Amino acid sequence: MRTRTFVLAAAFVVFTASTRAQEGHPLTGTWAGDWGPAGAQRTHITMVMNWDGKAVTGVINPGPDAISLTAVSVDWGTWTVRIDAKGVAAEGRMEDIGSSHRRIVGTWSQGGAKGDFTLTRD
């Protein structure tokens, strides 16, 4: 009985640790935040990103007016993320990388407008 209890407890610990370790690509998930010129009105944005095994894909503001991401790249040495979509270019640095609610903070341009942005993973 003692051996069985030990084996079950060990299996539970291994299972729990392995499920927490399999979070996936650091950009995968739903990100929410805003962007805009410093000191001006902010525009709320939602971004959904997913690692498909080869590249990060996704959309900005899912729904009828969604903008598909055309390219996403990460400089793993500096945790800098570059996001391109039709008419949108954003570059930022990931912060709180160990947190499930990590952030990307940086600069954003859309059309002729430029500003900063902050996204937090939900």
pLDDT band per the 50, 70, 90 thresholds, residue 3? low
pTM (two decimals): 0.77
d(CA 8, CA 37): 56
What domains appear along the chain, each with residue ranges and CATH number?
Answer: 25-121 (2.40.128.80)
> Does residue 18 have a pLDDT over 70?
no
Mean pLDDT score, 61-83? 95
**What is the residue type of 118?**
T
Going by C-beta distance under 8 Å and a sequence separation of 6 or more, which residues neighbour residue 117?
33, 34, 35, 36, 45, 90, 92, 104, 105, 106, 107, 108
Band (pLDDT 50/70/90 cuts) for residue 95 is very high
Which band of pLDDT confidence, cut at 50, 70 and 90, is reported for residue 24? confident
